[in-house]
Structure 1
Amino acid sequence: MSKNLYVGNLSWSTTEDEVRDAFGSYGEVVSVKLIEDRETGRPRGFGFVEMDDAGAREAIANLDGKDFGGRNIKVNEAKAREERPRW
């Protein structure tokens, strides 16, 4: 069973490989997706990491609030995306 983690307050220069390496220290990383602005293609400073359940708990405990690339990142379990009405 895997968990999806939200990772926020990332530096815009952070790469998916850097995130994969950091989280890989705590368990098996299934995927990493850093979110980019649709119009400009610039990083938005957050992303998602999917990893094994035990590793996800370890990563939250060890990385939340810690310095990563010069910024204190936020790491927690991702919430399901809410449906927004289409106008």
Structure 2
Amino acid sequence: MSKNLYVGNLAWSSTEDEVRTAFEAFGEVTSVKLIEDRETGRPRGFGFVEMSDDNAALEAVEALDGKDFGGRNIKVNEAKPRVERPRW
């Protein structure tokens, strides 16, 4: 079963390839998605990494949470399920 991880406090200059490379040190990465602002297209400083192995994902969380990545201390934890919010 795959594990979806939240990655926050990313530098706006961070790329999906850089994030993928950091997480691949711990196991197979099945997807990386950095979130952009819908209106401006600018990075929002967070994203999600999906890893194919739960143990590898837990190792990545322990190793990368709070560590320097692109000049910022990133936040890494297990992603919470998305809650649908009403649109105004």
With structure 1 as the length reference, what TM-score do the two structures score?
0.96
Q: For 1:49-60, list aligned pairs within 5 A.
A: 49-51=49-51, 52-60=53-61
Q: Does 1:40 align with 2:40?
A: yes
Cα distance in 1 for partners of 2:83, 2:68 equals 30
Cα distance in 2 for partners of 1:73, 1:3 equals 18
Q: For 1:1-87, list aligned pairs within 5 A.
A: 1-51=1-51, 52-87=53-88
Q: CA RMSD in A?
A: 0.8
SS in 1 for 2:55: helix
Give CA-to-partner distance per residue, 1:34-76, whole Å, 9 cap, x none. 0000011000000000002111000000000000000000000
Aligned length: 87
With structure 2 as the length reference, what TM-score do the two structures score?
0.95
SS in 1 for 2:38: coil
Aligned pair in 2 of structure 1 residues 42, 86: CA closer, same or farther (>3 Å)? closer
Query: Gaps spanning 5+ residues in structure 2: where?
Result: none
Shift of 1:85: 2.5
Query: Gaps spanning 5+ residues in structure 1: where?
Result: none
Give CA-to-partner distance per residue, 1:11-44, whole Å, 9 cap, x none. 0000000000000000100000000000110000
SS in 2 for 1:39: coil
AA partner of residue 75 (structure 2): K
Cα distance in 2 for partners of 1:58, 1:75 equals 11
Cα distance in 1 for partners of 2:84, 2:40 equals 24
